[in-house]
Structure 1
Amino acid sequence: MFRTDMLTVALWASLAAALALWLADGGVSSVGNVTQAVTAVGILVGLAGMDLVFLMLLLAARLPFVDGAVGHDRALKFHRKLGKPALYLLLAHGLLLAIGYGMAEGLDPVSEAIALWVLVPDMWLAFVSMALFIAVVVTSLVAVRRRFPYEFWYFVHLLTYLAVAAALPHQFSVGGLFAEGTWQRWYWLFLCIATGSALAWFRVAQPVMATFRHQLTVRRVVRLAPGVFSIEMSGLRLNELSGSGGRFFVWRFLAPGMWWQAHPFSLSAEPQVVTQSAGPSSGLLPQQGSLRITVRNLGRGSARLASLRPGTKVSMEGPYGVFSTAARSRERVVMIGAGIGITPLRALLESTPFAPGQATVLLRGSSADELFLGDEILELCRKRGATLFHLIGPRSANPQGTWLPASAGASRLRDFVPDITEADVYICGPSAWARNVLAEAKSAGVREEQLHYERFDW
């Protein structure tokens, strides 16, 4: 909660700092008439809009502090929420400046905009940047995204970086707010460089280093059920990934036609490590081992993974998210999973410390075949002394608000876990189902910090 509060404070502080740039430059004293007031508001909303864009980029940069505070999926959810306000502020920035400058020069806004494009250095880049921002926000709308393949949306979304790069030159070359020698210029430069450095390090450099360090290759693909399969990989130094059960990685399988597709999947088992000795003269070789992810065919991209050949090299990023034992706040633990969301629970069950009798596992599926890795989970529960419930059967005729099968009748979460308010609760499954579980857990008295949920609808 402390880190979440700190992020909230940092967000508002950054907006306040952006507005303080204008105030410290004597902004209020420069407003003497309506024309200057319109121009001043245009500058202010532009500063606020660009500040929100920087915040969006940092939320998507996979910063460890942000990831550990709210989780990757919540960070991206907030990232998307900032998209529309940022665009509206930037549109208002352009419109108000065109009106304000036009009023000062006796031109209408359209004529002033054309003059700015033609006569002011770097201003044409600002117009290009605005067009790119509009394209990114529009393609991010759910109704629009569903009309295009994921690959098209992902490519367009990468234009955000180009849009930011195109927006920067006019900020430093036009107007006096960021004039050379001012502290405002140095602050804004620092913000730009810090944001770019965070993206370069956490989105590019670290994944490349992890890929070379672990040298993962596909060992085999094992079919578990129709449309469900496990991908087993071998690599080096996988002991460094131990304890990551439940958290997800972003995988790229470097095969023809697949290398550019990113797949966010959790481990479905803790990495298995074997130390090999190279003899007394040469010491120890890097630790070799294996790890596994379990995938359900939910689209064209994931379906193609079933045809991966042994020896295919794998690029990896992560681990990400708060769905791990590090988020524990209580001795007792409850794990609730449905469908393919069961598989991360299997790894979490393996790595989470608890005493016999302190863990309860609830697995939900329409049939026994949908309790993926159920046999392995059963064996782990027997070995570790955890209570296991299989909740099998079709949904009720009115599934709104319920997460249990129709056969459960009027049963509630407390019927399975009477002391649930004294436990950490991990929930993994389809979004609509998970929301029902979360709602019932909260109504049973489970506090927000005890609930651990990662969106699992890819």
Structure 2
Amino acid sequence: MTSLLTPRSRAENPEAPVPAMAPSAAAGFRQQARRRWVRADFITFLGWLSPVAAVSLWLAYGGASGFGSFAAATTSIGIVAGLISMDLVLLMLLLAARIPFIDNTLGHDRAMKIHKSLGKPALYLLLAHGLFIAIGYGAAEGLDPISESVSLWVNVPDMWLAYISTLLFVAVVVTSLVAVRRRFPYEFWYAVHLLTYAAVATSLPHQFSVGGLFAQGTWQRWYWLALCMATGSALLYNRVLEPIFATFRHQVTVSRVVRISKDVFSIEMTGLHLDELSGSGGRFFFWRFLAPGFWWQPHPFSLSAEPIPATATTPGKLRITVRILGEGTARLARLKPGTKVAIEGPYGMFSTAARSRKHVVMIGAGIGITPLRALLESTPFEPGDATVLLRGHDENELFLGQEIMAIAEARGVTLYHLTGPRSPKSGSWLPHSAQQAGFTLASYAPHIAEADVYVCGPAGWAGKVIDDVKAAGVPTEQLHYERFDW
């Protein structure tokens, strides 16, 4: 079944707040998007330039002269493979460093998608590096690749660390495969993934102690040193120091846990300087609750309401809404008031920063509805310019639905509740009753091609919605979604 709330005019609803959107806002959104696209092109250019620079530095060192024999050519191929592999690993680390410039340009999802896509090529090139080096060195010394590998381990300084580095990289990439990581809890995968830092650390010594390209006094050595140090500094600041600074500055503390349904609850928190977090919309934070049994586990949750700054008489307030999906989230319902909270963020592009159009369409299901509630509260639009579609098996699954309805009434939003079972045959995300009535996505949002579209919900469901959104003519740059998987 569906229910409809149509926009009301100011005359019909004089108490509704005037949306904070100037007439020039649409042009401002377009300019904002153009600037973001230029930044994205710049990041893409640097990403492609970096492996080219790695090979160019090798050529400038005289690498092209190393193809005079089979042994030399094979060794040269191995060196090039190793250089490109090292470069890709550093790019992966930078994409995962949560650098604001990258996060505010590409968004967390897209950055991590690129990060994951580089994993296999980096590993294959690393394995090719070891294989071709063993073949090339062995051919020069009259040894087979296996004997040469043993000789390198025993006789070459720091080479044993390179072998350990290779094993660590294999472990990280294998555990990152979806089919593998689904078999283990998130904490196991996260711990193994931290081995990436150990893999990089153990790969560096042999490059600087053995590789002639990195010899003392060469400017190639300084280039790679600067690149490694810059990557390490970005990781240290953004993944370690900045969260520590934010935790001490905001002093976030659990005030209460409010049950919403059998498996959904909200965690309300207080804190300092929360005005600095306003405008975060549906962006997410990593929350680490500093209590016995909780502190070691970070939880990525979006805000389900815009932060409320402190006043002279009341503290600032934050809220997240959680659905129980396992033991880890179930335990959060037992948090005690007064528990201190470490925070990282906000992250992602699920916010007004992603807007490029005057109109906006929001589509959410399950716990994915809650970030839309925060976004609906904060993003600017005129009455009639926003459409919200909430999907659930029944009204009880439209979490925070009453709050969203109140905001929709006040701000002039067209709101649909799409409830009921799906058709077992069609595979559509729409209710079976809506399909029988001939409704499509365009029936609810006829001008969707001219709107920014935000989609939030379980990964499988969101994939079907995104297919429909694209089929409706929405360009990729106007589509914004968050995935509830890791």
TM superposition score category, shorter chain reference: over 0.9
How many residues were matched structurally? 448
2:303 partner SS = strand
Task: Decide which of 448, 454, 457 is 2:482's aligned counterpart.
Answer: 454
How many angstroms apart in 2 are the aligned matches of 1:147 and 1:309? 31
Q: In structure 2, what residue type is equivalent to 1:447?
A: P
Correspondence for 2:375: 348
- The structure showing larger relative contact order (alpha-carbon pairs under 8 Å, at least 6 residues apart) is 2
Instruction: Give TM-score, length-normalised by structure 2.
Output: 0.90
Q: In structure 1, what residue type is equivalent to 2:168?
A: L
1:308 partner SS = coil
Displacement, 1:69? 1.9
1:252 partner SS = strand
User: Which sections of structure 1, spanning at least 5 residues, go unmatched?
Assistant: 278-286
Q: How does 1:151-162 map to 2 (within 5 A)?
A: 151-162=187-198
Correspondence for 1:324: 351
Q: Closer, same or farther in 2 for the Cα pair 1:293/1:399, shift >3 Å? A: farther
Q: In structure 1, what residue type is equivalent to 2:351?
A: S
Contact kept? 1:237, 1:288, Cα under 8 Å: no
How many angstroms apart in 2 are the aligned matches of 1:147 and 1:357? 46
Contact kept? 1:429, 1:457, Cα under 8 Å: no
How many angstroms apart in 2 are the aligned matches of 1:391 and 1:175? 63
Correspondence for 2:412: 385
Residues 166-186 of structure 1: per-residue CA shift (max 9 Å, x gap): 000000000311111111000
How many angstroms apart in 1 are the aligned matches of 2:71 and 2:199? 29
Correspondence for 1:13: 49
How many angstroms apart in 2 are the aligned matches of 1:139 and 1:429? 25
Contact kept? 1:45, 1:89, Cα under 8 Å: yes
Q: How does 1:274-313 map to 2 (within 5 A)?
A: 274-276=310-312, 288-313=315-340
Q: How does 1:89-168 map to 2 (within 5 A)?
A: 89-168=125-204
Correspondence for 2:26: none
Task: Decide which of 381, 385, 388 is 1:358's aligned counterpart.
Answer: 385
How many angstroms apart in 2 are the aligned matches of 1:405 and 1:269? 28
Q: How does 1:228-307 map to 2 (within 5 A)?
A: 228-276=264-312, 288-307=315-334
Correspondence for 2:472: 444
Residue 189 in structure 1 maps to residue 189 in structure 2: no
Q: In structure 1, what residue type is equivalent to 2:329?
A: S
Q: In structure 2, what residue type is equivalent to 1:5?
A: D
Displacement, 1:453? 0.9
Task: Decide which of 406, 413, 418 is 2:432's aligned counterpart.
Answer: 406
Displacement, 1:399? 4.5
Correspondence for 1:282: none
How many angstroms apart in 1 are the aligned matches of 2:327 and 2:426? 29
Displacement, 1:366? 0.5
Instruction: Give TM-score, length-normalised by structure 1.
Output: 0.96
1:200 partner SS = helix
How many angstroms apart in 1 are the aligned matches of 2:447 and 2:318? 34
Residues 216-274 of structure 1: per-residue CA shift (max 9 Å, x gap): 01000000011100000001000110000100001101111111111110000011123
Residue 376 in structure 1 maps to residue 403 in structure 2: yes
What is the alpha-carbon root mean square deviation over aligned residues?
A: 1.2
Correspondence for 1:48: 84
Q: In structure 1, what residue type is equivalent to 2:242?
A: Q
How many angstroms apart in 2 are the aligned matches of 1:399 and 1:436? 11
Residue 336 in structure 1 maps to residue 372 in structure 2: no
Q: In structure 1, what residue type is equivalent to 2:398?
A: L
1:398 partner SS = coil
